[in-house]
Structure 1
Amino acid sequence: MGPMSIEQQIRELEEEIKRTPYNKATEHHIGRLKAKLARLREEAEKQKAKAARQAFSLKKEGDATAVLIGYPSVGKSTLLNKLTGAKSEVADYDFTTLKPVPGILNYKGASIQIIDVPGIIEGAASGRGRGKEVISAVRVADLIIIVADVFNLHTIDIVKRELYEGGIRLDQKPPDVVIRKKERGGVRISSTVPLSIDEATITSVLKEYKIHSADVVIREDITIERLIDALAGNRVYIPSLTVVNKIDLMDVDVADAIKVSAEKGINLDLLKEQIYRKLEFIRVYLKPPGGKVDFSEPMILRRGATVEDICRKLHRDFVENFRYAKVWGKSVKFDGQRVGLEHVVEDGDIITIYA
C-alpha cells in the first residue's frame, strides 16, 4: 500500500466518523473507527518521518525549558527579549528561519530557559510551513507558552489543535490505565470508577491495537480518545500557559489567558510568576558525606524529580558509580533513610549521595 492509499483510508474514516451519530448503540463501532484512524495516522507519520530529516532539536539548559509557540508575528521575539534579554531578531519570521532562539529567565533562584521557535500555522501538524518539525521539537519542553495577540485570538485554538494532532496533550495527566498483555485468556477489564464507555468499546479499541488478551486496570472515567492515547504510547503531557500580547493596542476579553504587552512591558512580572508556578519547582539541599548542609545553594528541581535526576545534575558519573543515598525530609519515613536512584524527593529534602 502506497502512502496515497493510507491518506485515502484516513479521509474515508474521518468521513465515516462524522456521519455516524454517537450513541450507546454506535459507541463501540465509533471506538473502533477512532482507534483505526489513530493507528493509520501513526503509520502515515512513520512513513513521513523516514522521509523528513529533523531540522532542529531543542537543547535543554537551566532548571527547566519553556517554549513560546504561536503564529508568526504575534510578538514572540519581543516577548523573549523582554523576558530574558536574549537577542532575538525582531522581524517577522519567514519559514526558512529554523533556528530556535533561546534565552534565560532568572527568577527566584531558578534559571528557566525560554525558547522562541518558528511560527506555526493551521495545518502545521500535517506538515505546513515546517510545522511538523517545530511540533516534534517542542515535545521535550517542560512548559508550552501559547502566544497570540489581540488581533488574532482565533489562533489560540488553532495552535492547541495542531499540538494535539502532534501528540502533545496540554494540561492533562497521562491516562490512568495499566495494560498487561497475556498470551491467552481474552481481555479482562477491571475499573476502580464507574465507566461511561462500555467493555465492548474498550475491547474493540484494544483489538485495533492488536491486543487480544490482556488484563486492563482503569482508574479514571476514560474517554475513547484517552484510551487510544494510553495505547499509542507516543503522547507527551505538558503544562501550558496562554499569553495574549499587544494589550496596549486594544483591550480584549479572554478567559484563562495572561494579557501582556511585550512592547510596553505590561504584566510581564505576572507572566514570570505564572511561568515559575506552572513549572512546580522544588528545592533540595545537598550534604556531602561527613560534611555540613549547604543551605545557601539549593538545587532546583521540578516536582516529581528523583535521586537519579539529582545525580545527573551533579555529574553523570554519579549515576554510574551510585551506591545509595540518604535522605532527611518529607519524602522519607524516617530521617537518614537509605534510598535508591528511583526515590522521588520533595521540597526541602536534604540528600547525601554515596558513590
Structure 2
Amino acid sequence: MGITEKIAEIEREIARTQKNKATEYHLGLLKAKLARYRVMLLEPTGKSGPKGVGFDVVRSGDARVALIGFPSVGKSTLLSKTTGTTSEAAAYEFTTLTCIPGKINYNGAQIQLLDLPGIIEGAAQGKGRGRQVIAVAKTADLILMMLDATKGPRQRELLELELEAVGIRINTHRPNIYFKVKKGGGISFNATCKLTWLNEKMVYNILHDYKIHNAEVLVREDATVDQFIDVVLGTRKYIRCLYCYNKIDQISIEEVDQLARQDHTVVVSCESDLNIEYLVDQMWHYLDLIRVYTKPRGQAPDFDGGLILKRGTTVEGVCKAIHKSLVDEFSYALVWGTSTKHSPQRVGINHVIENEDVVQIMKKK
C-alpha cells in the first residue's frame, strides 16, 4: 500500500470514528500517523530518483508575499495592476504555468509578490504543480489567498485544507509548548495550566508512535492534540494570511458587505480597479513592517532613505541592517521617537524600536 493510500485510509477511519472520551486516544494516534505520512509524502527522504522541477525564485525586497488560489480567479491581473509586471491573463484555467515574480513599492519598502500557478484540489498529494506551489508558499512572509467572490465559500475551505495538510498554519501562533528530545531519562511531562485535550497518557502514546522514548514536555497553554503533533514534528510554518475576494463587481452590494465583514478579508475587483490601493495597504499592515531612519553623528536624519524592518526589531537589528560589524563596535544608541520616554534617549542594544523612530548608533572609542 502506497503512502497516499495509507493517508486516505486513515482519513476515512478518522471520519467514521465517533469523537468522545472513549475514542480520544485512538483518534490522537491516528492524527499522529496521518501527520507522519503527510511529511513522508511531501518531503521524501530517499536519495534515488530524479529531483522534481521547482520554482527557483531568488528572494528580493524587504518581504515576500505568495499569491495563491485556484485557476482563473484573477491572480495574474492583480500582479499586473500592483507591480506593473506582465503575467499572462485570460478567461481560462491554468494560464500561469510557472512562478511570476513582481515588486510592489510601498512606504519606501519593496515587497516581492509571487504569482504562483493555480492550486487544484489534491495539491497536498502532489497533484498538478501543488508541491512546487506549496514549497514557495512556505518561504513567504504573507500568503495572499485570491478567491472568486462569485463562487461561494467552498474555494476558501478547500485551500485552507490544502495548506493545513502540508504543514502551513495560517493566522495562528506556534503553540506555547516546550519540547526537547533527550538521550535518556524517559519522558518527562508537565503542564502549567488546566488541559482539556492533552494528558500524560496521550503525550506518551503520540511520542512512542514517533519512536521518541526520551523527551521533556512542558505544556504552557490548553493545546489540542493537533497542536502538540505540530510541535513534535517541528516543520510547521506559521504564516499570516490575507483573504482577497475578487470580482465583487459581479455580485450584489449585500454579498460584498457580507464578505468584507469576515476576518482577515479584503474585497476587490481587479478588472474595475476597485479597492486595489486598500489591498496593498492591508498587505503592508499584515507584513508588520516598520520604517526606521538613521542619523549620522553631527548630521540631520536621512528621511529620504530609511530602513525597512520587522516590527519588534531591536537596536541590534538596526546595526545588522546597516552593517554586521556595527554590533561588535556598538557602545550605545540615541533614539528619537515613540519607543522612548524622552527624545533623544540613550538606549542599549536590546531596545525595541517603533515605526518612524530615528536612531543614531554610537561606536566604542
Instruction: State if a TM-score over 0.5 links the two structures.
Output: yes
User: In structure 2, which of residues 255, 273, 276 is the aligned counterpart of residue 265 of structure 1?
Assistant: 273
1:276 aligns with 2:284: yes
Secondary structure in structure 2 of the residue aligned to 1:135: helix
Task: Please list, as runs of the form range in 1=range in 2, the aligned pairs for 1:206-221 lying within 5 A after superposition.
Answer: 206-221=207-222
How far does the alpha carbon of each residue in 1:275-314 deviate from its partner, in whole angstroms, 9 at most, with x for none? 1111111222334467664344321111244566545644
Residue identity opposite 1:222 in structure 2: A
Secondary structure in structure 1 of the residue aligned to 2:158: helix
Residue identity opposite 1:303 in structure 2: R
Q: Do the aligned partners of residues 207 and 311 (structure 1) sit closer, same or farther apart at CA in structure 2, a change above 3 Å counting?
A: farther
Q: Distance in 2 between matches of 1:124 and 1:283?
A: 37
Aligned residue in 2 for 1:101: 100
Task: Please list, as runs of the form range in 1=range in 2, the aligned pairs for 1:330-341 lying within 5 A after superposition.
Answer: 335-339=345-349
Aligned residue in 1 for 2:309: 301
Task: Please list, as runs of the form range in 1=range in 2, the aligned pairs for 1:6-155 lying within 5 A after superposition.
Answer: 6-47=3-44, 51-91=50-90, 95=94, 97-153=96-152, 154-155=154-155
Taking structure 1 as the reference length, the TM-score comes to 0.86
Q: Do the aligned partners of residues 104 and 224 (structure 1) sit closer, same or farther apart at CA in structure 2, a change above 3 Å counting?
A: same
1:350 aligns with 2:359: yes
Q: Which runs of 4+ in 1 moved over 6 A?
A: 330-334
- Which 10-residue stretch deviates more, 140-149 or 48-57? 48-57
Taking structure 2 as the reference length, the TM-score comes to 0.84
Secondary structure in structure 2 of the residue aligned to 1:211: coil
CA drift of 1:249 comes to: 1.7
Indicate conservation of the 8 Å contact 1:84/1:104, yes or no: yes
> What RMSD, in angstroms, separates the aligned Cα atoms of the two structures?
2.9
Q: Distance in 2 between matches of 1:97 and 1:270?
A: 25
Aligned residue in 2 for 1:205: 206
Indicate conservation of the 8 Å contact 2:4/2:125, yes or no: no
Secondary structure in structure 2 of the residue aligned to 1:32: helix
Q: Do the aligned partners of residues 78 and 173 (structure 1) sit closer, same or farther apart at CA in structure 2, a change above 3 Å counting?
A: same
Indicate conservation of the 8 Å contact 2:69/2:118, yes or no: yes
Q: Distance in 1 between matches of 2:211 and 2:249?
A: 55
CA drift of 1:324 comes to: 4.5
Secondary structure in structure 2 of the residue aligned to 1:217: strand
How far does the alpha carbon of each residue in 1:12-31 deviate from its partner, in whole angstroms, 9 at most, with x for none? 32233223222222212211
Secondary structure in structure 2 of the residue aligned to 1:350: strand
Q: Distance in 2 between matches of 1:320 and 1:298?
A: 19
Q: Distance in 2 between matches of 1:324 and 1:215?
A: 39
Q: Do the aligned partners of residues 7 and 264 (structure 1) sit closer, same or farther apart at CA in structure 2, a change above 3 Å counting?
A: closer
CA drift of 1:139 comes to: 0.8
CA drift of 1:72 comes to: 1.2
Indicate conservation of the 8 Å contact 1:56/1:98, yes or no: no
Aligned residue in 2 for 1:244: 245
For structure 2, the 5+ residue unaligned runs are none
CA drift of 1:338 comes to: 4.3
How far does the alpha carbon of each residue in 1:240-276 deviate from its partner, in whole angstroms, 9 at most, with x for none? 1111111112233423332111111111122122111
Secondary structure in structure 2 of the residue aligned to 1:220: coil
Aligned residue in 2 for 1:183: 183
For structure 1, the 5+ residue unaligned runs are none
Name the count of aligned residue pairs.
347
CA drift of 1:48 comes to: 7.9
Q: Distance in 1 between matches of 2:106 and 2:285?
A: 11
Secondary structure in structure 1 of the residue aligned to 2:324: helix
Indicate conservation of the 8 Å contact 1:324/1:339, yes or no: no
CA drift of 1:83 comes to: 1.6
Secondary structure in structure 1 of the residue aligned to 2:85: coil
Q: Do the aligned partners of residues 272 and 224 (structure 1) sit closer, same or farther apart at CA in structure 2, a change above 3 Å counting?
A: same
Indicate conservation of the 8 Å contact 1:64/1:113, yes or no: yes
Indicate conservation of the 8 Å contact 2:188/2:215, yes or no: yes
Indicate conservation of the 8 Å contact 1:93/1:119, yes or no: no
Aligned residue in 2 for 1:233: 234
Q: Distance in 1 between matches of 2:235 and 2:53?
A: 17
- Which 10-residue stretch deviates more, 298-307 or 225-234? 298-307
Indicate conservation of the 8 Å contact 1:285/1:298, yes or no: yes
Q: Do the aligned partners of residues 333 and 219 (structure 1) sit closer, same or farther apart at CA in structure 2, a change above 3 Å counting?
A: farther
